[in-house]
Amino acid sequence: MEVLHQIENDILTITPLGQSLDAKNAPLYKEEVMKLIETTGKIKLIFDLNQLQFIDSSGLGTFLSVLRFLNAKGGALKLAHLNKPIQTMFEIVSMHRIFDIFPNVKDAINSF
Amino acid sequence: MNIKQQSNKNTVLREAVKNLIISLSGMTEEKSASFSSDLSNLQSVRRFVQEICKKAPGDRERLAIELQLAINEIFCNIVKYGYHARENEEIVIKYQLENDGVYVTLWDRGNSFRPPEIKSPDVIGGQERGFGLYIIHEIADEITYVPKDSESQGEGWNCTRIFKRYFFEED
């Protein structure tokens, strides 16, 4: 999956450009995200999910994996702009209790 | 008319509209589609489910979101654990719109498996995998799995069937 990224106030924001994060593309997405974390050296990360319309259990596993990696390094992962199908998925598996979720990227940046 | 009478009238009216929608919605429609056991087909599978939901009464958007999630997870499980990622095997999906909900059945010829006990995922304790079955069970109102080697099944097909009730305003 193609991703956009930008750095502001020492915070890396990654925007996945595809509409779905599922068992087919989640492994590659995780690889791209880990590569960006490594090359930029940033441990404060925001996923801007404004384009994402579907996520399955593999996609959730990727988010959890990145969250744990960053937490172990003293960093943090925040999620911004979840569309309705993504919110539903998060509620089903209680992920909204695990992740810091914000309505937009600006609020997520201000929360660090 | 007092407030209580008005409220009762509204309830009766809502029930009548709901029954009318059900009767006009093409009940007991059945269709099926066949997919190869390739995760690249997940998008097509979800599109097929979306089309099913367009024909259902009630809140179609919510039905589509939940049913797409559940069928996506069942399809993935069949590909990964039934066919062990062999991509040219067959998975048939059939749906049946009923009065109160929709049955979706997935047929496959892969290895049968004994469904494990479903537990809430331990996200705090570090679990990163294994949410699929939990998601299916959270969404489905009924779920049955009949392995191909069972007496009732036969003919070499495993059958996974879920029932999902329609969402109406008062749900």
pLDDT tens digits along B72-88:
999 999 999 999 989 99
A71 touches chain B (CB under 8 A): no
Give the strand pairing for A3-8 and A11-16. antiparallel
Question: Has the ipTM of the complex gone over 0.85?
Answer: yes
* Mean of pLDDT over chain A: 95
Asked if B76's CB is within 8 angstroms of A56's CB, the reply is yes
Whether this prediction's pTM lies above 0.90 is answered by: no
pLDDT score at B93 = 97
- For residue B150, name the pLDDT band (cuts at 50, 70, 90): confident
pLDDT score at A31 = 96
- pLDDT > 90? residue A52: yes
pLDDT score at B149 = 80
pLDDT score at A42 = 97
- pLDDT > 60? residue B123: no
Query: Residue B94: enclosing H or E segment and its boundaries?
Result: strand B90-97
User: For residues A62 and B129, which has the higher predicted lDDT (pLDDT)?
Assistant: A62
Share of chain A above pLDDT 70, in %: 100
Q: Which residues of A touch B73 (CB under 8 A)?
A: 56-57
pLDDT score at A85 = 93
Distance (Å, rounded) from C-alpha A52 to C-alpha B148?
37
Q: What is the CA radius of gyration of chain B?
A: 19
- pLDDT > 60? residue A35: yes
The pLDDT of B45-69, averaged and rounded, is 95
Give the strand pairing for A54-55 and A20-21. parallel
User: For residues B117 and B133, which has the higher predicted lDDT (pLDDT)?
Assistant: B133
Characterize A74-91 residue by residue with b for buried, 16 or more Cβ atoms within 10 angstroms of its Cβ, and e for exposed.
Answer: ebbbbbbbbeebbebbbe
pLDDT score at B10 = 65
A54 touches chain B (CB under 8 A): yes
Q: Which residues of B touch A97 (CB under 8 A)?
A: 123
* Mean of pLDDT over chain B: 83
Asked if A56's CB is within 8 angstroms of B40's CB, the reply is no
Distance (Å, rounded) from C-alpha B81 to C-alpha A45?
34
Asked if A60's CB is within 8 angstroms of B134's CB, the reply is no
User: Which residue of B43, B79, B135 is in closest CB contact with A92?
Assistant: B135
Which one of A62, A92, A96, A98 makes the best mutation probe of the B interface by having the most chain B beta carbons within 10 Å?
A92
pLDDT score at B24 = 54
A38 touches chain B (CB under 8 A): no
pLDDT score at B95 = 95
- Please give the distance of CA B164 from its chain centroid, rounded to a whole number: 6
User: For residues B102 and A2, which has the higher predicted lDDT (pLDDT)?
Assistant: B102
Which one of A56, A77, A95 makes the best mutation probe of the B interface by having the most chain B beta carbons within 10 Å?
A56
User: Which residue of B65, B73, B138 is in closest CB contact with A56?
Assistant: B73
Distance (Å, rounded) from C-alpha A111 to C-alpha A52?
22
**Chain B closest-CA separation from residue A91 CA (Å):** 10
The pLDDT of B19-26, averaged and rounded, is 53
